[in-house]
Amino acid sequence: MNILVCVKRVPAPGARINITADGQQVDTAFLGFTVSPHEECAVEQAVQLIEKHGGDVTVLTLGPAEAEEQLRTAVSTGATKAVLVPIDTTDWDPQKTSEALAKVIAELETANGKYDLILFGNESADSCGYQVGIRVALKLGRPIVNGAKGLEIESGVATVRRESDAGVEIYKLKTPACVGVKEGINLPRYPTMKGRLASKKVAITQSAATGETGGLKLITLQRPAERASNTKILGTGPEAASAVVDLLEELGVFK
């Protein structure tokens, strides 16, 4: 079984997100980078599936050259191949991104055969566009369901479990298919020693990016208005318990 997972390099901010002076980007001067938690889970799900059925997991990203780091991390947790589509900014708009990804995937498939499954995150952590996976799937002519909290594959049918307000829903897609994965589907593993070695050795294939600029344009990033809070310190250590319970009584949650 061959599975492709699309991941995006994003900053990993802590207590607050700072924006560059021109308002165009997150200020990453003191930040590490990661991929969206949904995508981490997509990689883990793909690795679990090949552990069961055999095959390869290829990770694919469109991003700056540094995104190699995220590809290597994915290999350290079990992915077997990595493809980088280098661009000279942090990201492209969703239409342009999906056009480029679809083209690269088509090329990879011409060379290596069709992927049984192509996995995405439900949404990327930074732009939260909820659309790149859907656009790519349509360009490739494959079915896609987002929000997967369960994913099994058996005799050419991918069974997707998804949660809604009403309950747990089951979808069945004939492979080749695409699925948008949500965090919680599994617990991603930590890199193993063997994985770390593999990640150092893996060859990162590069593929050229091409695409037309789409119609959604960023003007500026802004921080939402912060709620001013003057924290009332109720006390230190267990002695504060009485003040806490006074507060809970006052707030009406304990009578």
Partner 1 sequence: MSVLAVVEHDRGSITSASLGVLTAARSLAKQMNTKFEALTIGSNADALSELIAKYGASTVHQAHHSALTDFGPEAWGESVAQVVRKVSPTLVIGTGTERGHEVIAQTAARLNLPASMNCLEFDKGFTGAEPLKVVRARWGGSLLEEAEIDSPIKLVTLANHVVEPTEEPTSASVSVIDVQLDESVTQSFVQDRVERVAGVTLATSPVVVSGGRGVGSAEAFAPLEELAGLLNGVVGCSRAVTNNGWRNHTDQVGQTGTRIAPDVYIACGISGAIQHWVGAMASKNILAINTDAQANIVTKAGYAVIGDLHAVVPAISAEIRRRQNK
Footprint of partner 1 on 77-96 (CB under 8 A) = 93-95
Beta-bridged to residue 4, according to DSSP, are 58, 118
Hey, CA dihedral for 170, 176, 180, 181, is it positive or negative? positive
User: If binding is defined by CB under 8 A, does position 240 make contact with partner 1?
Assistant: yes
201 Cα distance to chain centroid = 24
Within residues 121-140, the interface with ligand AMP by CB under 6 A covers: 121, 123-124, 127-133
Angle formed at CA 231 by CA 227 and CA 233, multiple of 5 degrees: 165
Which residue's CB is nearer to partner 1, number 78 or number 129? 129
Using the rule CB under 6 A, give the single segment among 29-37, 39-47, 136-144, 148-156 that binds ligand FAD: 29-37
DSSP state of 254: -
- Return the range that interacts with ligand FAD (CB under 6 A); candidates 33-41, 48-56, 143-151, 196-204: 33-41
Q: Which does 120 bind (CB under 5 to 8 A by kind): ligand AMP, ligand FAD, partner 1, none?
A: ligand AMP
Query: Which tokens belong to 76?
Result: 């350290």
191 SS3 class: coil
Site for ligand AMP in 6-45 (CB under 6 A): 6-8, 36, 38-39
Q: What is the DSSP letter of 25?
A: S
Contact of residue 236 among ligand FAD, partner 1, ligand AMP, none (CB under 5-8 Å per partner type):
partner 1
The CA distance from 32 to 1, in Å, is 33
Please choose, from the candidates 1, 58, 232, 26, the residue with its C-alpha nearest in 3D space to the C-alpha of residue 125.
26
Q: Which residues bind ligand AMP (CB under 6 A)?
A: 6-8, 36, 38-39, 60-63, 91, 94, 97, 101, 120-121, 123-124, 127-133
| Interface residue list for ligand FAD (CB under 6 A) | 12, 34, 36-37, 125
